[in-house]
Amino acid sequence: MLYCKVDLHIHSTFSDGTDTPAVILERLREGGFTHFSLSDHDTLKGCAEMARLLATGDPAFIRGAEFSCEDERGKYHVLAYGYDPAAPSMTALVDASHGYRVDRVKRRLDLLKQACGFSLTEAEREALFALNNPGKPHIAEYMIKYGYAATIGEAFDNYLNKYECGGDHVKPEDAIIAIKEAGGIPVLAHAPLGSGNQRLAAEEVEARLKRFIPCGLRGLEGFYSKYTSEMQSEMLSLADKYDLFVTAGSDYHGTHKTVSLGETHLEMTESYPGGLLAFLQEVEKRKVIAAK
142, 160, 178 - which closes a domain: 160
Q: Among the listed ranges 7-21, 101-115, 272-286, which one has the minimum average pLDDT value? A: 272-286
181 and 263 share one domain: yes
185 and 225 share one domain: yes
pLDDT at 220 over 50: yes
pLDDT digits (tens, 9 = 90+) for 23-54: 999 999 999 999 999 999 999 999 999 999 99
Residue 119 C-beta-side C-alpha neighbours within 13 Å = 6
List beta partners, residue 183.
Answer: none
42 and 175 share one domain: yes
- Give helix 136-145 / helix 122-129 axis angle, nearest 10°: 150
Task: Determine the Cα–Cα distance for residues 209 and 7; give it in Å rounded to an integer.
Answer: 23
Residue 215 structural domain: 6-95+169-289
pLDDT at 1: 47
pLDDT digits (tens, 9 = 90+) for 91-126: 999 999 999 989 989 999 999 999 999 999 999 999
Report if residue 1 sits inside a domain: no
Other C-beta atoms lying within 10 Å of the C-beta of residue 124: 13
Report if residue 54 sits inside a domain: yes
Residue 86 C-beta-side C-alpha neighbours within 13 Å = 0
User: How many domains does the chain contain in total?
Assistant: 2
Instruction: Name the residue with higher pLDDT: 272 or 103.
Output: 103
78 and 200 share one domain: yes
146 and 280 share one domain: no
